Amino acid sequence: MQDPLDAPEPRLPPSLRLLKWLVMGLTLTMIAGVITVVVLLVTRMPDYSPTNFPDNLAMPAGAEPQAITQGPGWTGVVTTDGRLLIFGSDGALRQEITVDLP
Mean pLDDT (10-residue bins), the chain, 102 residues: 70 89 97 96 72 74 86 89 89 88 68
Q: For residue 79, which of 89, 88, 69, 71 has the smallest C-alpha distance?
A: 69
* 82-to-52, 67, 76 alpha-carbon distances in Å: 20, 11, 13
Given this model, what pLDDT does residue 50 score? 53
User: What is the edge-to-edge ordering of all strands in the sheet holding 74-79?
Assistant: 65-71, 74-79, 83-88, 93-98
Global pTM reads: 0.49
Given this model, what pLDDT does residue 12 score? 83
Given this model, what pLDDT does residue 35 score? 97
Given this model, what pLDDT does residue 20 score? 93
Plot region of 10 (φ>0 → left; ψ -120 to 50 → alpha; else → beta)? beta
Given this model, what pLDDT does residue 23 score? 97
